Structure formats: C-alpha cells, structure tokens
C-alpha cells in the first residue's frame, strides 16, 4: 500500500470515529434541535416584551374636546384615517369629551389626573385648534393635526362619506425585486455566520477534552498527527453537513405549512443568480468557511489544555468572526467600494461576502474565481493548522532544514 493510500485510510478512520462519536449520541439530538430552542426562547421573550409594550399602549389615550356636532365628524374621520395604519401601528384610542365651562383648564387637567395615560389633547375650533402634548407624543400630535385638517374639510364639504371608490388589482412581479434580493443576501450572510459560529467552534472544546483525557496521545501513537488533524476536521464537517441537511429540508418545506399570503411573500425572496444555483453556492461557500475556521479552531484546541485557556483563545476568534460578519454585511449594500472588494478578497470573509454577491448578481464567473481562491487558502490554513496541531499536541516540531543538513553531513 502506498504512503498516500495509507494516509488516506488513517484519515478516514479518524473521521469515521469522530463522526460516529458525535452523531450517535443523545447530545447531538439536543444540538440538532438547538435552533428550535433558540427560536422558542426568542418567541417567548418577544411575546413578553410585546405584552409589556401593548399593555402600556393600551392604556394611552388621545383626547379631543369638541361639541356634539363636531364630535360626529371627528369620530368618522378618525375611523377612516385609522384604516391606513398597519395592525399594531395605529395611534392610541381616541376619546371625545364634551367641552366644559373652562375648556383650557379642562384640557390641562387631563394630564396626570385621568384614569388613562393621556398623551395629547386637542381643543378649540377645528380651523385653528390648540394641541397639548407630553414630551414623547410627537407622532400623536401629527395624527391629531391631520385629524383636525380632515375633519374641517369634511365639515366644509358637508359629508364624511368617501368621495372615491378605487378598484384594486394585484400584480405579480415578473422577477425578484431589489428588496427581495437584499433580503436573501442578508439571510445568506447571516446563515453562514451563524452556522460557522455554532458548528466550527465545537472543535476547541472537543480537542481540549481529548487532550485532558490523554486520547490524543493514544491516537498519535497509532497514526500520524496529520491524519488525526484532517480526520477530525472531516468528521466534524460531516456532522455539520448532517445539521445543514436536516434544517435545509425543514426550511425548504416551510412554505407548505404557511398561509398563502405568507408563502407569496417568501416567493419574493429570490436570488439574482437563480434558485438552483444559490443553494449549491451556499453549501460550497459554507464548506470553505467551515474548513478555514474549523482548522483554526482545531489548532486553538490543540494549544489549549484547560477550560480557562479555551475561553481566552475562543473570545478573540469570536470577536474576529463578528468583525468578518460586519464586513460581509457592509459589502451587500456597498457593491464596488473598497470595503466590498476587501470583503470578497480576504479569505475568511470571502465565503459570506460572495453569498451576498450571488443574491444580488447573476454573474457566475466571479464565483469560480472566488471558490478557487478560497480553496487555495483552505490548503494553506489546513497545512499551517496541521503543523500547529503537532506542536500543540506533542510540544514538538519538525527539525529545521539547516539541522537536517547538518545531521546528514555528520553521518557522511
């Protein structure tokens, strides 16, 4: 058996060992469902925050002090104006009070003494009303201003009935809109960032654990350390691919479970390069990003021997990944700038930046060049990572070239 075939067999043996030890455990099932738990916690937190905000908004009131004749016009105008606001963005509930003997004092007395939280009060003639407001009620003042304007027009017209009846027709877009392409670009960049951050960072803990258990020494005695390094990298990548296949299948079938109006909204999220090509490019760029950062994390795990060292080494890498994420998102909306070019050329940010480029451009040749460039850097990083791995595990390194020549000269 040739040296290459022996090296390949040893590498695949380590890869199979790491893959099975990771996947065929109850913890991997929990890890597979981690996004569900994250989404669930996010929904619970969002509902709690929305409930607190809604309870506060529900207690707010806008008050108009008007005569009974004007009150009918104002109430109907308010009903029509609220139709233009989306659900949840409407102004506070309008309450119409009858004027007392001293309207100004009545209006001022509503703040802080009413059972509801009054944010703005309108009183006086509609052609020149007076509006009182709290410091944060700027939007409510603008609404009351338009309410008085439209009510005055309706009073001069003599009717609050609608004066036009438009015919509304729904037009389907022939291609993806600019907002849809930007949306899928952001989703692609965020997807690679989150997946790489979640999956590749496991290498640090796994390597440190096996170092503390003396497993690495046993493996190093059986196979070369380069095979251990590549095998672990391939094994972890296999579990990452399984994670992506599971959730990719779930997301692909998600439109079938959504109402038709939501499904039609998702259809607008179409990348410029096309649906068949974009998922393939996403997987290819994720592979490059995972191999680059996975090799770095695996090398860091070999250098760390305690949980404290893992934290000290992992934090700079996490900050580095967030910086790459910011650079990649910047390139989406600043195409052609130096920042966008740098994001596509730098090897660690190139995969996520090129995913955003695929969503906004239908050109295929830049992806061929980018994948070749990234593959070159994968080879460089894996090679450097294997050497760092050897130094970190055995605290040894290959003899320098001049030492090898000196030893050979002494033998001769």
Query: What confidence tier does 396 reach under pLDDT thresholds 50, 70, 90?
Result: very low
CA distances in angstroms from 262 to 116, 195, 265, 389, listed in the order given? 37, 25, 5, 49
Who contacts 339 (Cβ-Cβ below 8 Å, separation ≥6)? 327, 330, 331
User: pLDDT, tens digit, for every residue of 298-316?
Assistant: 777 667 666 676 667 767 7
Question: What residues pair up with 62 in beta bridges, in sequence order?
Answer: 94, 120
Q: Is 119 helix (H, G, I), strand (E, B) or coil?
A: strand
Q: What span, in angstroms and rounded, lies between the C-alpha atoms of 352 and 231?
A: 25
Please compute the mean of the pLDDT values over residues 364-371 and round it to a whole number.
90
Residue 283 has pLDDT above 80, yes or no: yes
Q: Please tell me the pTM assigned to this model.
A: 0.65
Please, are residues 128 and 139 in contact by the beta-carbon 8 Å criterion?
no
Query: What confidence tier does 187 reach under pLDDT thresholds 50, 70, 90?
Result: confident
Sign of the dihedral defined by the CA atoms of residues 10, 14, 16, 17, in that order = positive
The whole-number pLDDT of residue 193 equals 85
User: pLDDT, tens digit, for every residue of 24-36?
Assistant: 777 777 777 777 7
Among the ranges given (24-38, 39-53, 175-189), the one the predictor scored with the smallest mean pLDDT: 39-53
Who contacts 204 (Cβ-Cβ below 8 Å, separation ≥6)? 297, 298, 300, 301, 304, 310, 313, 314
CB hemisphere CA count around 143 (13 angstroms) = 28
């Amino acid at each position: 058996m040739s040296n290459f075939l022996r090296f390949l067999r040893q590498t695949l043996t380590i890869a199979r060992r790491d893959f099975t030890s990771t996947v065929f455990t109850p913890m991997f099932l929990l890890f597979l469902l981690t996004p569900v738990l994250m989404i669930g916690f996010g929904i619970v937190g969002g509902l709690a925050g929305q409930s607190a905000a809604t309870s506060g908004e529900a207690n707010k009131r806008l008050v108009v002090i008007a005569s009974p004749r004007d009150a009918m016009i104002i109430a109907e105008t308010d009903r029509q104006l609220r139709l233009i606001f989306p659900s949840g963005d409407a102004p506070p509930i309008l309450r119409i009070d009858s004027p007392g003997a001293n309207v100004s004092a009545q209006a001022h007395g509503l703040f802080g003494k009413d059972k509801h939280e009054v944010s703005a009060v309108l009183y006086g003639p509609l052609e020149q009303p007076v509006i009182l407001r709290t410091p944060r009620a700027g939007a409510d003042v603008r609404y009351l201003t338009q309410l008085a304007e439209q009510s005055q027009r309706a009073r001069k017209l003599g009717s609050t009935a609608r004066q036009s009846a438009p015919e509304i027709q729904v037009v389907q877009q022939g291609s993806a809109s600019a907002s849809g392409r930007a949306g899928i670009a952001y989703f692609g960049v965020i997807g690679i960032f989150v997946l790489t951050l979640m999956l590749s960072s496991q290498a640090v803990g796994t390597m440190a654990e096996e170092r503390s258990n003396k497993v690495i020494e046993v493996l190093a005695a059986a196979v070369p350390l380069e095979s251990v390094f590549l095998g672990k990298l391939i094994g972890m990548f296999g579990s990452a691919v399984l994670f992506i296949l599971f959730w990719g299948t779930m997301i692909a079938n998600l439109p079938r479970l959504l109402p038709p109006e939501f499904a039609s909204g998702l259809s607008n999220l179409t990348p410029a390069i096309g649906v068949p090509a974009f998922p393939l490019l996403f997987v290819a760029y994720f592979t490059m990003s995972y191999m680059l950062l996975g090799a770095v994390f695996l090398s860091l795990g070999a250098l760390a021997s305690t949980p404290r060292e893992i934290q000290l080494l992992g934090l700079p890498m996490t900050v580095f990944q967030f910086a790459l994420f910011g650079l990649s998102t910047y390139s989406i909306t600043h195409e052609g700038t130096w920042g966008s070019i740098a994001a596509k050329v730098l090897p660690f940010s190139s995969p996520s930046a090129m995913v955003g480029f695929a969503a906004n451009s239908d050109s295929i040749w830049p992806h061929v060049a980018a994948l070749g460039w990234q593959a070159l850097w994968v080879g460089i990083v894996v090679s450097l990572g294997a050497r760092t791995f050897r130094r970190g595990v055995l605290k040894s390194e290959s003899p320098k070239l001049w030492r090898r020549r000196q030893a050979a000269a002494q033998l001769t």
